[in-house]
Amino acid sequence: MATSTTESGDFSIANAANMSPLSAYQVLAAVFLGYVALNRYQYWKKTPKVMPLGFGSLPWLGPWIGTVRLLRDPVKLIREGMAKSNNGLMRIATIQGEYILVSDRNKVAEYLRAPDSVLNAQEGANDQQQIPFTMGYGVGHRTYHTPVVRGPITQSINAWTPLLVDECCQSLEEMIGSPRDHKAIALYDVIAMTVGRMANRVYVGTDFCRNKEYLSNAADYAQAVVITSEMIRPFPSWFKGILVRFMPVMRHRKAGERFLGPYIQERLNGKLDEFGEKPTDLVQRLIDAAPPIERTVPQLAERVMALNVASIHTTTMTLTSVLYTLAAEREKYQEVLRNEVLENLEDGQVTVKTLGNLPKMESFLRESGRFNNNGLMAMQRNVKKDFTFSDGTVLPAGAKVGALTLALHRDPEVYENPDVFDGFRFLQSGPSVSKPSTLVNTRASLHVFGHGRHPCPGRFLAVHEMKIIFSTLLLQYNWELAPGTEPKTFYIATMFVPDTKLKVGVNLVTEG
């Protein structure tokens, strides 16, 4: 029996050795086609049966064509999809993969109600910003900072208001000064530095919030996170970890650790504040909440830097858009908003009570958030288990879904004349209105800070900072766009980036 098997084996090997080149190529071709067929089947299986946008008629090249079209003119392509879609769903291809965009607010409400075991928000955020690679594995997978920000940090905002106002005034005085004649300034840079100073005043104190090298590194880190996340996205996970080691984002992270290291170590050693009491700033709150694996200098510094990204980048982009809009329509809004602040000052100061009685400013902020879309896609979720919409459309496991901001913020069924900016659109009146809605109140049709089960936990501090800066600017300065200029809108795929180089003319407010 053994001999027979050997002979049979020898015969097969001999046959293979004597196989003609044509036959060998046929076998290789069959293997290759089998691999391609399996690959396409797996792609088809996890691809929702939803209208593809901009894919063209070539099935093999469709996603590549769609990606190029999205990069060239995302707004035009998205508007085409909004006009064609009959169920509020469309599929787009980006450098980082394919997404299902949801433009119907009822469907958005449906998917936002899904538990994380089905549609996962943290994995969606990790994908969007490549958090485990750009900010650190712990930041992306051990999110103990979220309840810290949502709880004790938010609860301390009113007590911190005098500190925030003081830091804002000092920052604007240093960066703008007191120009009697128009002075051209890069508004984005002013806002980024001021937001950074205010946030770090309550994060780590005056030693850091007034350290220009520390602040510059924090701002550069925030920008590097955004850029790096886009650059590494197409690569496999194992290679991303290698790539980031040679990119500026890692250099800025390490610099942040060098700045913060001694300060954090003192806190880990139990250092008390000047009154002999346990401090209540962000670092101490993080130390108290951190699991043992995260209670180290490198990990805590990494966490503070990550929260700087969240506080500086989003707040700066949102407020810069607000101020550009006001500069473009200053005759209509600037004096009205300034007078509202003046009427609510207490002993000439901006206070918690002042900030709580600015309904016109609240409306202007909300309308700017609605009109100046901060990105075309928001509230991304990664599909862990098949999810079925009420109309029967299935999102298979492995897909990615997000809300189409442009459609929701410009929904004609919700907003009258949605493509027109109306700064007082949200101004409520009448005896039945006890408290105006603010930018922190989220909904599907206005989601600057997200909506549903996972809205941004830092939105209360962010809006508080924006209102302080906005109020202080109104009290001290006039600003306007130079004749013939206007802010340019930039998109990297679905991500909105405001015009960071535009200069505006600023001069001191004079009485009378």
Distance between CA atoms of 183 and 303, rounded to whole angstroms? 38
Question: Do the domain assignments include residue 37?
Answer: no
User: Would you place residue 474 in the very low, low, confident or very high pLDDT band (cuts 50, 70, 90)?
Assistant: very high
Residue type, 47: T
Spatial contact of 346 and 354, defined as CB atoms under 8 Å apart:
yes
Question: Do the domain assignments include residue 165?
Answer: yes
Section 402-420 average pLDDT: 93
Spatial contact of 477 and 509, defined as CB atoms under 8 Å apart:
yes
Positions of E strands within 70-168: 89-94, 97-102, 119-120
pLDDT higher than threshold 90 for residue 465: yes
Q: Report the percentage of the chain scoring pLDDT > 70.
A: 87
- Burial bucket for residue 7 (CB in 10 Å: 0-12, 13-18, 19+): exposed
Section 435-464 average pLDDT: 87
What is the DSSP track for 24-49? HHHHHHHHHHHHHHHHHHHHHHHS-S
Question: Do the domain assignments include residue 403?
Answer: yes
What are the distances in angstroms from CA 123 to CA 132, 293, 400? 10, 21, 10
User: Would you place residue 34 in the very low, low, confident or very high pLDDT band (cuts 50, 70, 90)?
Assistant: low
Distance between CA atoms of 71 and 311, rounded to whole angstroms? 27
Tokens for 295?
């209670």
Q: Report the percentage of the chain scoring pLDDT > 90.
A: 57
User: Would you place residue 505 in the very low, low, confident or very high pLDDT band (cuts 50, 70, 90)?
Assistant: confident
pLDDT at 496 (0 to 100): 77
pTM to 2 decimals? 0.87
pLDDT higher than threshold 60 for residue 430: no
pLDDT higher than threshold 70 for residue 28: no
CATH of the domain at 300: 1.10.630.10
User: Would you place residue 6 in the very low, low, confident or very high pLDDT band (cuts 50, 70, 90)?
Assistant: very low
Buried-state track 137-153, b at ≥16 Cβ within 10 A, e below 16? ebbbeeeebeebbbeeb
Distance between CA atoms of 312 and 196, rounded to whole angstroms? 6
Question: Do the domain assignments include residue 374?
Answer: yes
Residue 20's Cβ-side half-sphere holds a number of Cα atoms within 13 Å equal to 3
3-state secondary structure 179-204: CCCCEEEEHHHHHHHHHHHHHHHHHC
Tokens for 285?
């709150």
Angle in degrees, 0-180, between the axes of helices 459-476 and 157-175, rounded to the nearest 10: 40
User: Would you place residue 366 in the very low, low, confident or very high pLDDT band (cuts 50, 70, 90)?
Assistant: very high
Number of domains in the chain: 1
Question: Do the domain assignments include residue 485?
Answer: yes
Collect all residues with Cβ–Cβ distance below 8 Å to 256 and sequence separation of at least 6: 214, 217, 218, 221, 301, 302, 304, 305, 308
Question: Do the domain assignments include residue 455?
Answer: yes
More confident call, 494 vs 212: 212
> pLDDT by residue (tens digit) across 152-190?
999 999 999 999 999 999 999 999 988 888 788 899 999
- Calculate Rg over the CA atoms of the chain: 27
- Burial bucket for residue 159 (CB in 10 Å: 0-12, 13-18, 19+): exposed
pLDDT at 114 (0 to 100): 96
> pLDDT by residue (tens digit) across 256-315?
999 999 999 999 998 877 777 888 889 999 999 999 999 999 999 999 999 999 888 889
User: Would you place residue 120 in the very low, low, confident or very high pLDDT band (cuts 50, 70, 90)?
Assistant: very high
pLDDT at 378 (0 to 100): 92
* 456 marked ligand binding residue: yes
Distance between CA atoms of 86 and 257, rounded to whole angstroms? 51
User: Would you place residue 438 in the very low, low, confident or very high pLDDT band (cuts 50, 70, 90)?
Assistant: confident
Distance between CA atoms of 92 and 128, rounded to whole angstroms? 15
Collect all residues with Cβ–Cβ distance below 8 Å to 490 and sequence separation of at least 6: 496, 497, 498, 499
More confident call, 46 vs 208: 208
pLDDT at 434 (0 to 100): 44
Section 391-413 average pLDDT: 93
The per-residue pLDDT of the chain, averaged, comes to 86
Neighbouring C-beta atoms of residue 45, cutoff 10 Å: 10
User: Would you place residue 66 in the very low, low, confident or very high pLDDT band (cuts 50, 70, 90)?
Assistant: confident
pLDDT higher than threshold 50 for residue 11: no
> pLDDT by residue (tens digit) across 307-364?
999 888 889 989 999 999 999 988 899 999 999 999 999 999 999 999 999 999 999 9
Section 376-389 average pLDDT: 93
Question: Do the domain assignments include residue 5?
Answer: no
- Burial bucket for residue 272 (CB in 10 Å: 0-12, 13-18, 19+): exposed
What is the DSSP track for 193-243? HHHHHHHHHHHT-HHHHT-HHHHHHHHHHHHHHHHHHHHHTTS-HHHHHHH
Neighbouring C-beta atoms of residue 397, cutoff 10 Å: 14
Range of the domain at 116: 95-508
Question: Do the domain assignments include residue 173?
Answer: yes
Residue 302's Cβ-side half-sphere holds a number of Cα atoms within 13 Å equal to 21
- Burial bucket for residue 487 (CB in 10 Å: 0-12, 13-18, 19+): buried
pLDDT higher than threshold 80 for residue 95: no
Distance between CA atoms of 100 and 395, rounded to whole angstroms? 8
pLDDT at 153 (0 to 100): 92
pLDDT higher than threshold 90 for residue 425: yes
Tokens for 154?
């938010």
